Amino acid sequence: MKATTLLILITICMTIVTPAFAQAPVVDSDAIFREVSRRPARPNNEAKIEAMIRRMTIEEKVGQMTQLTIDMVTNGDDQEVKIDDAKLKKAIVDYKVGSILNVNNQAITLDHWHRIIGPIQQAAQKTRLKIPIIYGVDSIHGANYVQGSTLFPQEIGMAATWNPALMRRAAEIAAMETRAAGVTWSFSPVLDVGRNQSWPRFWETFGEDPYLATVMGTAFVRGLEGDNVASGNHVASSLKHYVGYSLPLTGRDRTPAYIPEHALREYFLPPFASAVKAGARTVMINSADINGVPGHINKHLMTDVLKGEMGFTGFIVSDWEDIKKLVTQWRVAADEKEATRLAVMAGIDMSMVPLSYSFSDNLIALVKEKRVPMSRIDDAVRRILRVKFELGLFENAMPDNSLRSNHGRAEYANVALDAARESIVLLKNQSNVLPLSKTAKVLVTGPTADSLISLNNGWTYVWQGSEPGLYPKDKPSIQRAIESKIGDAKFKYVPGTRIVRRANSASNSNPTDIDEVVDISDAVSAAKKSDVVVLCLGEGSYTEHPGSIPDLTLPEIQLDFAEKIIATGKPVVLVLAEGRPRVISRIADQVNAIVLAPNPGNEGGTAVADVLFGDYNPNGKLPFTYPRSPGYLTTYDANAFERVLDSRKLPSFQPQFEFGSGLSYTTFEYSDLRALNAMAPEGSVGVSLNVKNTGSRAGKETVIVYVRDEFATLTPAAKRVRRFAKVSLAPGETRQLGFTINRDDLGYFGLDNKFRFEAGDFTVLVGGQSAKFAVR
């Protein structure tokens, strides 16, 4: 199979047909995708790389393949961590280590970063070949380990914007603020497709649809790497977690997935293939296993597919301690030395060891024993050096003081606020209770009302995002933003319940959030005296193991509290600040409005308040299917059988809210959907429609184009997203949109893992309308 076949799901072309007079721009996903997926020209450093490899000893080569955490070269506490000269010499001079990662425990200042990275690069310059260090951190939703940086919505929130141009701009800012710290490599974006809503890293994804994840993910990569990654404005990206990590059978982190390869190619590989085509420099591997094979020894996926079919020329890095875990967790090797051999021979180029020198010792021994050929070592080193050259590290690896001006600019906060506002999803608005009047008496209550933690989630200043003292004091929570908007006289805040962090009795390293009652009776009393209640529920912060839960249902304390507030008879606006869709079916029909704030970041409090009081017209759309029951987790593209009536005449597909849901304070009308012509063998079919703003205020509408294959050899999906566009419309304004669908966009991967197209009947579905066309 050719590498290009992995990308066919994203090759739809689109044109926008507009009148001659000036109109607000359309966010055309295809136009943006064509731009961000263009692979920039690169300097040819191959001769320099080969010359350097010829000079390198075994120890120097293996050193380049070794990554250690910052703790291995420092001492001191969080705020006073300092380089330890003896540790640094051991790592860089003695073991010739090529990469360092991480922050000690929490975000540090630019000055502190420079004091850490400067000596590390200086030590590298004292080695025989003067090969610079590549330093990596998790800049997940901004430069979240640099104090004072701009934080954006998490990926699930950015997906709810359906705005790849905004995603690209957010990533550009994250890159500038990361590089200003002297860090040149970000472990982002997450390109796992979120097909299991209970997975604790679901919020780190762009949701359940492969096409949306592909467009947004490629925009993220282009924002990070730019056209010249060596410039002071960009960093190398790392696509993670290749591949299939996001569909664990149990829903728990780092547990097995069972995904047939044709399904892997259909749903999970496209975002990675697109980002590789666009030039992404590094890839991080799935910490779990697929079909019984741990990701770190899956030679077929790493070497045959990624490096072979996709043509990936960068390097593959392991995740944290995952070679060791081949022995301790997956038990596919009797000892770490054998695990090292299996991983390197499967395609791992760099090991995130990161707390010992065992990888270096074992791999040097394996090479000397001829159990790992030098050709495999040279291939890995060649890939690592290629990225270092392209980053410009050989010219200047030191932190650049001139880049300080790229950090913390005032205009960055405006971009973050735009993103936060566009991420907010209005899911229910019974009797138009929203927007609220600024003269109404408002009670704000609930465990997420006064929590920046709930608005951000993990990877925020610390790994779990759980330290309230690290959050900026000038960024308001939801309740503070509402108070600022309407004033003290009309505002009251009573917590009711709270979310607290408790150490896990089994492991203090994996604390979990627990709901506690604070003052429910006070909240109920205050509700009775108010005109409306803004009830803020949801989650605290988590990622990876600490976020694994047995049930997606919202905690009982929160549900019980909600029922007591509802029982007052006052209008209730439910605000959900959460990273994954917690089941709310017990209370959803009893509240008057539901607003989803999917980890919108530090500007999320302002964004929620702006939406609640009508200062911003909501336009977010769900990038996932919101379940009604924890026992039935499905996706919008499940096969058509799941949507038919069962033997009791009950609809079997009944999520709480469907994928793509999202209301506005205006209304939109779709009309005149047409499939313009049948396809020639190498031709295309044109689709056109009109979208009109039929309401009284300006608004944005995301037009999602689905296509359904009516019959196929393999059971076809009920529908698939093939295109989207975000349109700004004034009251009464109509836009005509045109899309071009190519034949390749109508195919699928068969059981032979090859892409195929079958002639037949298809249906295009947009905004409640449908049109049929045939391909012969």
Query: Annotated active-site positions, please?
Result: 319
- Distances from the Cα of 286 to the Cαs of 139, 429, 468, 695, in angstroms? 18, 40, 30, 47
Closest CA to 427 of 579, 589, 569: 589
Q: Is the peptide bond before 373 cis (omega within 30 degrees of 0)?
A: no
Spatial separation of the C-alpha atoms in residues 346 and 163, rounded to whole Å: 37
Which contiguous run of DSSP H or E holds residue 339?
Answer: helix 336-346
Residue 560, both tokens: 């019980």
Q: Are strands 512-517 and 532-538 parallel, antiparallel or unpaired?
A: unpaired
Spatial separation of the C-alpha atoms in residues 520 and 532, rounded to whole Å: 17
Q: Are strands 748-749 and 425-429 parallel, antiparallel or unpaired?
A: unpaired
Spatial separation of the C-alpha atoms in residues 222 and 40, rounded to whole Å: 10
Residue 625, both tokens: 């299917």
DSSP letter string over 72-137?
A: GTEES-TTT-EE-HHHHIIIIIIS---EEE--SSS-B-HHHHHHHHHHHHHHHHTSSS-PPPEEEE
- Distances from the Cα of 601 to the Cαs of 220, 455, 465, 495, 578, in angstroms? 17, 5, 11, 21, 11
φ/ψ of residue 305, rounded to 5 = -85, -60
Place of tokens 């040097």: 364
DSSP letter string over 510-563?
A: S-EEEEEES-HHHHHHHHHTSSEEEEEEE-----SGGG--S--BPPHHHHHHHH
Q: Outline where DSSP puts E strands in 209-288.
A: 238-242, 282-285
Residue 123, both tokens: 């030590």
Spatial separation of the C-alpha atoms in residues 440 and 326, rounded to whole Å: 60
φ/ψ of residue 86, rounded to 5 = -70, -45
Longest CA pairwise span in the chain (Å) = 79
The b-or-e profile of 308-330 (16+ CB within 10 A means b, else e) is ebbebebbbbbbbbbbbbbbeeb
Taking residue 564's Cβ as centre, other Cβ atoms within 10 Å add up to 15
- Distances from the Cα of 573 to the Cαs of 106, 426, 429, 484, 589, in angstroms? 35, 11, 9, 18, 12
Measured in whole angstroms, the distance separating CA 110 from the mean position of its chain's CA atoms is: 25
**3-state SS assignment for residue 685:** strand
DSSP letter string over 159-214?
A: HHHT-HHHHHHHHHHHHHHHHHTT--EE---B------TTSTTGGGS--S-HHHHH
